[in-house]
Amino acid sequence: MLLCFDVGNSQVYGGFYENNKFSHNFRINTKIGWSSDQLGIFLRSFCREHNIACEKVNEIAVSSVVPSFDYHLKNACLKYFKVEPMFIKAGIKTGLSVAKFKSSHEIGADLICSAVGAVEQYPDSNLLIVDMGTATTITVINSKKEFITGVIIPGIKTQAASLAHAAEKLLTVELLRPKTVLAKDTTESIQAGLYYGHLGAMRLLLRKLANEALHDQEHKIIATGGFARLFTKSKLFDVFDSDLVLKGLVKIVSLNPSIR
């Protein structure tokens, strides 16, 4: 059984993979200061509650953009599962070519994994991959499996927190999809601005990337990440897949048998 972790700045999303599918998934907050033992106890408890035999976990793969979390996660895996986790890093086979991106060593593990997951499902396709978390990223992969480029903007929750922090009279608001931009109070004004402002930014970026990176060739737009659900009715994406990074991890593990 393979245990996968997608460690983001806000949340850790994980899942147990067996018989060609994820049977159980979980989310925990990245920022609450987990120790190795706390992580291990949580994972063992999750296994017990869902009738997962811990001893069946013989492989662990991790996509992480939070280096300070990695030490504790690695120790938890070693102590509670007796498995050395594989972290996605430079030198690991992914099936992608990153030669066209100048600073390829800076590409986040999450972007690599989501790209691998998308390519595995849509081979020979031009892809625009939108990942909406603490940051909103858009990655371009062409039909030759080449990582062309990517853009990064603050995520919608990050924008909301920044606004509330910088302006004393503006409140932290619930993130939702307003039916209209015709706000009736300050809360609705912020919600409309955040949602439709983010939607407009993504529409423009997707259009420009399709034009400049893919020369308007046929392509698919795939979305993942916790906040992408807010935009599923916007007709911005062709597909929403919450497990895209985890699916990429599964593929990468299969490409690297020597380090499993």
- As annotated, the active-site residues are 110
Q: Which ranges constitute the DSSP H helices of 82-177?
A: 109-121, 156-166
**Among residues 141, 165, 140, 139, which one has the least CA distance to residue 153?**
139
Nearest Cα to Cα of residue 126 among 218, 241, 204: 218
- d(Cα 226, Cα 209) in Å, to the nearest integer? 23
Strand, coil or helix: 15:
strand
Residue type, 152: I
Concatenated DSSP letters for 43-54? HHHHHHHTT--G
Task: Find, among 136, 141, 90, the residue nearest to 116 by Cα.
Answer: 141
E strand intervals along 52-146? 59-64, 86-87, 127-132, 135-141
List beta partners, residue 59. 2
Both tokens of 91, joined, read: 């030198």
